Amino acid sequence: MANRVMVLLSCVSLFWAGALQSAAEEPKESNDSPARLISFDDLQRRLDDQGIRLLDVRAKDDYDEAHIPGALWIDAKAVEKVAARPGGLVNRPAWEDWGAGLGLTPGVEVFIYDDNRQRDAARFWWLLNYLGVNNVGLVDGGFPLWKKEGRPVTADAPVIAPTGFSVDFRRERLATKDDVLANLASKSARIVDARSGAEFTGGDKRAERGGRIPGACHLEWAEFVDKDGRFLPLEALRAKLREAGLTQDGEPVITHCQSGGRASVDAFVMERLGHPTRNYYLGWSDWGNNGDLPIETGASEPK
């Protein structure tokens, strides 16, 4: 009898040891990550929730035709122009004027969607975080899929009362040219290039010079989302990071692309996986047009 009890206890111990090991190996999002993601099902259940502000960053004609109920249209092109101007990212009056129209109040949850596989939505996720807005996330999937699945849509635009919008620039979310240049010596963060492979190697030249920032690893933004704008499972995302040479948990990252949008998709993924991330928002449009800054061209192996 004693032997049978010992065998039973041994089996139970092995079972729990295996279960704990599997749980430890299961990838998880960082608990304090600013990269929040809401599913279609969760969003649909909360469409009447006054604690949510939903932002639509598609073209105005598309928004007017149909959008998710309660969504407020954002003029994405106008905002991109403000950010791209010299000194635009630190123009407090411009951002406070713009933000007043969003009607944001303390405690409100902000979720953003687009029809461009998260490229536009992620830009605004990053921008609002940088401007000091808490609780900002993305809808996991684009509007075309929402509509295809027969979920609620409307042509009615919500009436949003303007509110005071106080900007609190989060400098730790932004990387400048000087930050990146200093990082080439310190190597305190991994530089992640979200552009296409041809841009990374210099074959597709979108500035005075083509190529990449020395030492950068290549993680094209499109590899992180499916055709409908849904992010890949966490383990699949982690595998892509490992393939690119990002193997250290919590390693700081600086993302960049040409002008902020694609790098914001990468930044969202990095933050979800626990990597403190800054976005070199001006990216290759800034670096590639400065002949004094170092570049690399050609194929590159993971660092």
Per-residue pLDDT reduced to its tens digit, 42-101: 999 999 999 999 999 999 999 999 999 999 999 999 999 999 999 999 999 999 999 999
Q: Determine phi and psi for 200, rounding to 5 degrees.
A: -60, -40
Q: How confident is the model at residue 301 (pLDDT cuts 50, 70, 90)?
A: low
Question: What per-residue confidence (pLDDT) applies to 251?
Answer: 96
Question: What per-residue confidence (pLDDT) applies to 105?
Answer: 85
**Across 132-149, average pLDDT:** 97
Q: How confident is the model at residue 277 (pLDDT cuts 50, 70, 90)?
A: very high
Q: Would you say residue 15 has pLDDT above 50?
A: no
Instruction: Determine the Cα angle at 56 with ends 218 and 121, to 5°.
Output: 10
Per-residue pLDDT reduced to its tens digit, 154-167: 999 999 888 889 99
Ranges of each domain in the chain: 36-171, 174-287
Which own/partner pairs from 61-67 qualify as long-range (CB within 8 Å, at least 24 positions apart)? 62/115, 62/143, 63/157, 64/155, 64/157, 65/155, 66/147, 66/153, 66/154, 66/155, 67/143, 67/153, 67/154, 67/155
Which tokens hold the place of 5?
A: 């009890």
Which tokens hold the place of 131?
A: 């401007």
Q: Would you say residue 194 has pLDDT above 80?
A: yes
- Which three-class secondary structure state does DSSP give residue 92? helix
Are the beta carbons of 244 and 218 closer than 8 angstroms?
yes
Q: How confident is the model at residue 106 (pLDDT cuts 50, 70, 90)?
A: confident
CATH superfamily ID and name for 174-287: Rhodanese-like domain (3.40.250.10)
- pTM for this entry: 0.88
Question: What per-residue confidence (pLDDT) applies to 139?
Answer: 98
Q: Would you say residue 119 has pLDDT above 50?
A: yes
Question: What per-residue confidence (pLDDT) applies to 243?
Answer: 93
Q: Following DSSP, what letter does each residue of 135-174 receive, concatenated?
A: SEEEESS-HHHHHHTT---BSPPP------------GGGB
pLDDT, greater one: 160 or 2: 160
The two domains 36-171 and 174-287 share their CATH topology (first three levels equal): yes
Task: Report percent pLDDT > 90 for the chain.
Answer: 82
- Provide the CATH topology of domain 36-171: Oxidized Rhodanese; domain 1 (3.40.250)
Question: What per-residue confidence (pLDDT) applies to 59?
Answer: 97
Beta bridge partners of 110: 53, 136
The pLDDT mean for the chain works out to 89
